[in-house]
Amino acid sequence: MTDLLDQLFETHSLTKDEIIDALRMMEDPQHKSRLFDYANRTRLAHYGPRVFMRGLVEFSNYCRRDCMYCGIRAGNRNADRYRLAPEDILACCREGYELGYRTFVLQSGEDMWYTVDRLTDILGMIKGEFPDAAVTLSIGERSRSEYEALYKAGAERFLLRHETASRELYESLHPNMSFDNRMECLRMLKEIGYQVGAGFMVGLPGQTLEHLAEDLDFLHRFQPDMIGIGPFIPHSDTPLKGSKGGTVDNTLVMVAFARLLVPKANLPATTAMGSLDPQGREKAIKAGANVVMPNLSPTSVREKYALYENKICTGDEAAHCRGCIEMRIKVSGFEVDMGRGDSLNWQEPV
Ligand code: 5AD
Ligand code: FES
């Protein structure tokens, strides 16, 4: 007798209604452990036991947006703002390169100080010095022409979580932002040729199992190259302070479903998972994740990049995180891969 989970494992496809039914099955611990096993086997089939390492540079916490959940929202007067100069960003990459990293993820709030010209200069410096490294941008919404210019300047990957695939929930969490524009940005990035990362938070206030099924169904239809999924962790300087937040257990289920619905995606074990549970990242790796993103930001600014509170590693040097993560991966029975680790879902444009 086969059931929905077997069908998911064999075909990597379910309808939205089937996803809802399969999510309901997760109340039974036996089904849940079978889900994790199927997700792990799917990941092993495509990526083997390797875990790709990405060096994360959080280069500015200025943001023009006001997302209700985020600690660096424009309206948070208590946020201590910083911007790294282009040379400082390059210095982080240099340190990362020496530690073996071959992917740099440049992340910031939506900070318009970094014009396309400035970003192009930064990309030129990084790609000039480290031509064998991949650069991923995570800088939010821009226009099509800006995305095109940044791609030409050498950025080959772009992370833009969809945050939630429910229009209603999206609009309640993102004042003055448009759900349609978010989706349009994701489509444009894909068309331009980027490896594109989508993803969502688990445990948002008002989020139901049906909403989560919508997220998984969206991922299945969009087939992103990368998928970032993390628990929502309330921040006390935001309108959502005091709300419950997501759990590691529920997030792990989403990670495993994402692996099964988008088998070849690069799927990180997120820092938010490690922040809620000391073993959170290891658990995510065992549930189908194949990427980790240790921090390369200068320790002087680490604490200031607080999207949520109690984030791990804010006091740790890049070299420490590099070693720590490697040890954690090995102890979990997996292997570190310092290569570029392009997504198998993605075909280089001709
Ligand atoms: N808790 C967890 N994740 C958060 N993010 C932003 N704020 C929070 C929070 N309070 C996530 C968003 C964003 C990513 C960079 O961090 O999904 O896309
Ligand atoms: Fe930073 Fe473990 S990854 S200390």
The closest alpha carbon to 239, from 70, 64, 62, belongs to 70
Expressed in angstroms and rounded, the spacing between residue 271 Cα and the centre of ligand 2 is 9
Q: pLDDT per residue over 140-170, tens digit each? A: 999 999 999 999 999 999 999 999 999 999 9
Quick check: CB of 325 below 6 Å from ligand 2? yes
Three-state DSSP state, 135: strand
Cα separation of 261 and 5, whole Å? 11
Tokens representing 153 are 């300047």
Residue 340: CA atoms inside 13 Å, Cβ hemisphere, count?
A: 13
Q: Which atom of ligand 2 is nearest to the CA of 281?
A: 3
Ligand 2 centroid from CA 61, angstroms: 21
Using 50 as the pLDDT threshold, list the residues of the chain that sit under it: none
Numbers of helices and strands, H then E, in the chain: 14, 9
Distance of CA 322 to the CA centre of its chain: 18
**Cβ-proximal residues to 324 (8 Å cutoff; 6+ apart), any chain:** 294, 313, 316
What is the position in ligand 2's atom list of the atom closest to the CA of 295? 1
Atom of ligand 1 lying closest to residue 199 CA: 17
Kindly indicate whether the domain formed by 14-337 is annotated with CATH number 3.60.15.10. no
Name 218's Cβ contacts closer than 8 Å, sequence gap at least 6: 162, 165, 198
Q: If you measure from the C-alpha of residue 223 to the centroid of ligand 1, how many angstroms do you get, rounded to a whole number?
A: 21
Domains in the chain: boundaries: 14-337
pLDDT value for 346 = 76
- The predicted structure's pLDDT at residue 350: 60
Atom 14, ligand 1: which residue's CA is nearest?
161
ipTM score for this prediction: 0.95
- CB neighbourhood size of 241 (10 A): 11
Tell me the CA–centroid distance for residue 163 and ligand 1, in Å.
Answer: 8
The answer, as to whether pTM is greater than 0.90, is: yes
Phi, psi values for residue 263, rounded to 5°: -55, -35
